[in-house]
Amino acid sequence: MKKGAERLLDRRPLTLGVLLYVLGCIAGTAGSVPPTLWAMGMALCALGFLFSRRLICILCALLFVGAWSCAALGSITYPIPEGKCSVSGRVRAVHRQDKRRTVMTLEDVRVEGERLHTRLRLYDYGAGAASPGDRIQCIASLWRGEGRRNPGGFDFDAWLRRGGVALCATANEVTRREGRPGPGGFFAGLRAAFGKRLDALYGDQAPLARGMLLGDKQDMPEEMYDRYRNAGLAHLLAVSGLHVTCMAAAIAFVLAALGLGRHVAFLVTLALTSCYALLVGAPASAVRAAIMFGVMGFARLWGKPYDGLTSLALAALLLLLPCPLKVADTGFMLSFLAVLGILLLYRPLRRAFRISRWPKALRGVGDAVAVSLAAQLGTLAAVCCLFGQVTPYALVSGIPGIALCTAALPLIGLSLLAHAVSPALGLALSYAPRALLWLLSEVTRLTAALPGASLAMPAWPCPLLILFGAALFLASDYLKVKRAVRYAAFAALPALALAALLLARLQVPGGLNCLFLDAGNADAAVLSAGGKTYLVDVGEEGGPTAGYLRHTGRQVDGLFLSHGHTDHAGGLGDILRDRHIPTIWLPVGFEESGVDGSVLSHLEEARAKGSRIRYVARGDEIDLAPGIRALVLAPGADERGTGNAQSMVLKISYKDGSLLMTGDLPVELESGAAAPATLVKAAHHGSRDATGELLLRAASPAACVISVGSTRGPSRQLLDALARHGIPALRTDQSGAISADILPDGILQVRTYK
């Protein structure tokens, strides 16, 4: 390898500098290092610059600048007034507007008359209409977005900050005064108008057309998105670099047919492509594609060589300088990594497959395969970390999927423009893209139905991510290494994915561990028993259980549903989308106890996928793993109740320790379920009608876990009872997820996520 940092990547100083800046931004967002320490690193680099090794100091300074800027932006806090306060501002964007609420982002915000130096996300439950540019006045309650409260969970606060929002507000009555929208508001209004025309043109295919052309997935059925995700074609439903490139090519073709000169045609194409990127909301992938298209065009106009890596680095720098926190944005990561994978791996893959020797008629297919494989390898680690799954058939489905999308996009746009002139003409021109969209849906449906279409993969640990990044560059032509090293780097890319999967399997705790997820006012627990994974309730739909399983890559060996209320069983459908559950245990009389209809439909879905349904009653025992057994304490075989009264109660024993899972058992029925236990999960989220004195005296636990949301909180009666018995209360609303290890000698070890 060439010596000296200045020779790295074939003398591409911008690429190397931006790469270090990006790595610094990632460290600043992912780590817990205080901003002052990153600032000290910058100061040391400045001192080093004065004395020696100036280039190295500059490169290190870029790393520290990125880390400091992200750490500083992520730690800024604003005071929140107690109670309600007066809030005013201008609507920057309207994100959702329905009968229940309107969600919008405000800029130029004032709280009690004082300027707030951040944007505000306002939830208007008066469901009033709003448009970009409107002036808003309301009495609202201010609050901060929650950070990550579960392993692999969603960090709402970080997501808001990536959009320049540090505070949220809730209001029930909003006074609106119409105003002139800015450029963003103008394009948002245009996007809404185009969406309505697509609805009129494409009917039941409108959600697909809107997603592909405008990046609008708001009304897209969840089943459709899941199908495209499992087929590896979800990127077609959000405007990405592919869509922008396709539209640019279509515009350039039309301008060339009109006889415009090369220079004028390029400038017009660049202007219209930039407007298209703004029209779809300026996602990172679209802006990146527009910037790279512009750099390539200007390089050709000026007779300069075009370098893809330098162009990609420039696009990353222009996107990150205004808001470095965008480095953690899903669209940013996937877009840049896909292009980076193509730039680094396409030529080596083309040589490896010897595509230049293929028959001329097949070379186009070979090139498409090489590009698709390079993009998938480039995004492999990010896809595993972000989505917890890989789609092995994407290489097959991607070629016809991209071809159909490329053909359909310009035609959808043409029918949309024609509809503005003549609705009849627009309808006539919509038949061809309708057929293409139907074909795309069929390709997606067939691919998603194949066995193993979606494979669960865990998030990768940091060392494997570093090795993966190094392997990407070593496998490319940009680093001068021996052929054997390049081949080894290629082999390392999929091997690292297998290593991550193996590590995840090895990291499943032995013995008895229970992770109580922070599911708000719901119950969801993950039980690790002798290396096997069981679920005890799964929370509500959209809860944290499915996300945790994707993050860890765990397979589920069995599920216990205490009863059929949605706060305990509503998340079953989310899990069934990704995983097969071999056995589901239900209390006797489950269906007759007042089960929500959606839960029953999910159970039928589980049966159809091969899950065994087992009914249990008091006295039944289930062997979870060698030395670990679950004993059912309630309900009795002849007992029939409704709702909480039919809750399953489990005592899970491991040598001298045990865990008591109480569901929502009412206090008047706990006499039959009271038993000694090392740890007790409070029934019914700590409400006043559950977990009484009788159970606490009989169990005499070392601690009591209360799964409860911040809007509700446990009852004062329970907290007082725990205090009288000297039992520590562990609350998910205060601690986030709670992990409890029960050791063979009955000792309890507890770790909280926050």
Closest CA to 213 of 183, 250, 244: 244
User: Both tokens of residue 23?
Assistant: 């790595």
Give the Cα separation of 43 and 239 in Å (integer): 41
**What are the residues facing 535 on neighbouring strands?**
526, 559
User: Both tokens of residue 331?
Assistant: 């669209």
14 three-state secondary structure: helix
User: Both tokens of residue 539?
Assistant: 């929370």
Give the Cα separation of 344 and 475 in Å (integer): 7
Catalogue the E-assigned strands of 380-506. Answer: 389-390, 455-456
User: Both tokens of residue 589?
Assistant: 């009389």
Q: What is the pTM of this model?
A: 0.88
Strands 729-731 and 703-706 come out as: parallel
Give the Cα separation of 134 and 147 in Å (integer): 30
CA 507 to chain centroid: 23
The pLDDT value recorded for residue 238 is 79
Which tens digits make up the pLDDT trace of 621-663? 999 999 999 999 999 888 887 888 989 999 999 999 999 999 9
Give the Cα separation of 401 and 444 in Å (integer): 8
Name the helix (H) or strand (E) containing 534. Answer: strand 532-538
The pLDDT value recorded for residue 32 is 67
**DSSP letter at 690?**
B
**What are the residues facing 581 on neighbouring strands?**
none
The pLDDT value recorded for residue 2 is 44
Give the Cα separation of 534 and 526 in Å (integer): 6
Give the Cα separation of 41 and 35 in Å (integer): 10
User: Both tokens of residue 232?
Assistant: 């590896």
Burial class (CB in 10 A: 0-12, 13-18, 19+), 347: middle
CATH topology assigned to domain 512-752: Metallo-beta-lactamase; Chain A (3.60.15)
Residues 298, 267: contact at Cβ < 8 Å? no
User: Both tokens of residue 643?
Assistant: 């709702």
The angle that helices 241-257 and 394-421 make with each other, rounded to 10 degrees, is 50
Burial class (CB in 10 A: 0-12, 13-18, 19+), 631: middle
The angle that helices 483-506 and 462-474 make with each other, rounded to 10 degrees, is 160
Residue with tokens 């893809």: 308
Residues 336, 288: contact at Cβ < 8 Å? yes
Backbone phi, psi, residue 661, to 5°: -105, 115
Torsion of CA 231, 232, 235, 241, to 10 degrees: -130
Phi-psi category of 134—alpha, beta or left, where left has phi over 0 and alpha has psi -120 to 50? Answer: beta
Give the Cα separation of 254 and 411 in Å (integer): 13
User: Both tokens of residue 683?
Assistant: 């029934």
In this structure, the chain runs to a length of 754
Residues 324, 28: contact at Cβ < 8 Å? yes
Give the Cα separation of 145 and 80 in Å (integer): 12
Give the Cα separation of 90 and 108 in Å (integer): 6
Q: Angle at Cα 102 formed by Cα 96 and Cα 103, nearest 5°?
A: 65
The angle that helices 394-421 and 183-202 make with each other, rounded to 10 degrees, is 100
Task: For residue 362, give every residue at least 6 positions away whose Cβ sits within 8 Å of its Cβ, in sequence order, or none.
Answer: none
Q: What is the 3-state secondary structure (H, E, C) of 696-719?
A: HHHHCCCEEEECCCCCCCCCHHHH
The pLDDT value recorded for residue 613 is 95
Burial class (CB in 10 A: 0-12, 13-18, 19+), 608: exposed
Task: For residue 425, give every residue at least 6 positions away whose Cβ sits within 8 Å of its Cβ, in sequence order, or none.
Answer: 418, 419
**DSSP letter at 521?**
S
Give the Cα separation of 18 and 31 in Å (integer): 19
Backbone phi, psi, residue 666, to 5°: -65, 155
The pLDDT value recorded for residue 3 is 46
99 three-state secondary structure: coil
The pLDDT value recorded for residue 1 is 43
Task: Please state, as a whole number, how many other Cβ atoms lie within 10 Å of the Cβ of residue 641.
Answer: 18
Q: Angle at Cα 293 formed by Cα 289 and Cα 298, nearest 5°?
A: 150
- How far is residue 345 from each of residues 18, 76, 376, measured CA to CA in Å? 20, 40, 10
Give the Cα separation of 538 and 545 in Å (integer): 6
Strands 524-529 and 512-516 come out as: antiparallel
564 three-state secondary structure: coil
User: Both tokens of residue 84?
Assistant: 């309600």
Closest CA to 368 of 389, 394, 391: 394
The pLDDT value recorded for residue 293 is 92
Give pLDDT < 50 ranges for the chain. 1-6, 9-10
What is the CATH class of 84-181?
mainly beta
Closest CA to 573 of 549, 604, 551: 604
Give the Cα separation of 122 and 132 in Å (integer): 13
The pLDDT value recorded for residue 671 is 85
**DSSP letter at 659?**
E
